[in-house]
Structure 1
Amino acid sequence: MAAKRRRLSNPLALVVMVLLSERAMHPYEIAQTIRQRGKENSVKVNFGSLYTVVQNLEKHGLVEVTDVQRQGNRPERTLYGITDAGRAEMAEWLSDLLAVPAREYPLFETALSLMAVLPPDEVIPLLADRLAALDVQIASARGALQMLYGTLPRIFVVENEYQLHMLEAEAEWVRGFLKEVEHGTYQGVAEWRTFHETGELPPEFKELQQRAEGRSTDT
């Protein structure tokens, strides 16, 4: 099952629709609510572009102006509410995100795919630094989660649980990979080291490259 291509792809638009499904708000109040609920830790938020996101939602008929408020000498505040079309879009978009795994291209994965250009003895301390940083993040995330458990039902901190689990999973993988590279037991490490020592591609790697080139030619 593939996710539907959407008119708006910025996840911040989904956050806005979810908040407006609770009650009508003006953009400044939306920004405040995002901060109060810590949603900027779960979605990339550029508060400077929030007004543009709201305008785009209005353009597509997903939100609409519900009121214009003026208090004393303060500037007018335009309140927005979600439309029926917006509620349908919100529910469908969120359902897709929950049900359909998306290819997200994390930067660490990119770095791993290019890692062999560096010598193993340079990579080892870099991964050790990453592991140390992950351990600090895990300890901090655990502490924060315990504090949240004391004030909120688990349903409202589910994303924090997921973030902690992903940090722990990454740390476990890095720890195991680092150990194998250090001990030379990870398949291909010897050839990787030889390449950087001699500047020559090992025969095993040349053979793999030739096979890949052959497959590319065949297709």
Structure 2
Amino acid sequence: MSTRRSPLAMALLSLVCETPMHAYRMQQLIKERHKDDVVNVAQRNSVYQTIERLLRDGLIAVLETSREENRPERTVYEPTDAGRETLRQWMRTMVSTPAREFPEFPAALAFLPVLAPDEALEALQERIAALEARLSALGEELATTATFLPRVFLIETEYQQAAVSTELGFVRGLVADVRAGHIDWDYRL
């Protein structure tokens, strides 16, 4: 059976391959390790739904279920051999093959004439401020975590830093072009 690949499924499967654990611990580790910048675990329900899918598809198995005093029941999961192999296949594909993704910003740029030029400039300036803050936060995170984590665990943060820096340069250039009148706004929608 071919399980649908997703960043969350990859992350959860990777964690149980590291050591057997329960769902709450998986979500907690993703947040503690700042992997929630690249894997969406904001909704606990999505973690449980993904675990159910991995379980149903035979990529993980229940190791044990326990209950401690007044705490809720906890199910600990472990990878199956098929899960370990699937994870390796997913990783090879995710690292080697650029995915066709549909982020919001390029979609918004595709319909930029919906906004008046001054409105677009204001929104782009707000984006510049947000990108500058994000770039600063990523720099601080790298500086701090590099003191106790090997670089191999920080590569996604380095990638994010490069992507945010590139986007910031692009948006600054776009603002300059709009201000200089190099973009024809006669096609307002």
- Normalised TM-score (structure 2): 0.89
In structure 1, the partner of 2:117 is 120
2-structure distance, mates of 1:106, 1:74: 40
SS in 1 for 2:4: coil
Distance apart, 1:107 and its partner CA: 0.5
Distance apart, 1:15 and its partner CA: 0.9
Distance apart, 1:130 and its partner CA: 1.2
Letter in 2 for 1:37: R
1-structure distance, mates of 2:23, 2:118: 51
Structure 1 or 2: more helix by fraction: 1
Distance apart, 1:112 and its partner CA: 0.4
Where in structure 1 are there 5+ consecutive unaligned residues?
Answer: 1-5, 200-219
In structure 1, the partner of 2:31 is 35
Out of 159, 163, 175, the residue aligned to residue 162 of structure 1 is 159
In structure 1, the partner of 2:8 is 12
2-structure distance, mates of 1:75, 1:181: 57
In structure 2, the partner of 1:141 is 138
In structure 2, the partner of 1:152 is 149
**Coordinate RMSD, CA, aligned:** 2.1
Distance apart, 1:170 and its partner CA: 0.2
Distance apart, 1:101 and its partner CA: 0.5
- Normalised TM-score (structure 1): 0.78
1-structure distance, mates of 2:137, 2:26: 27
Asked if residue 177 in structure 1 is aligned to residue 170 in structure 2, the reply is: no
1-structure distance, mates of 2:114, 2:65: 59
8 Å contact from structure 2 (residues 5, 90) kept in 1: no
Letter in 2 for 1:140: A
**Correspondence list, 1:35-54, <5 A:** 35-45=31-41, 46-54=43-51
The count of aligned residue pairs is 188
Out of 61, 64, 68, the residue aligned to residue 64 of structure 1 is 61
SS in 2 for 1:105: coil
SS in 1 for 2:102: coil
Rg larger for: 1
1-structure distance, mates of 2:44, 2:36: 10
Letter in 1 for 2:16: L
Letter in 2 for 1:41: D
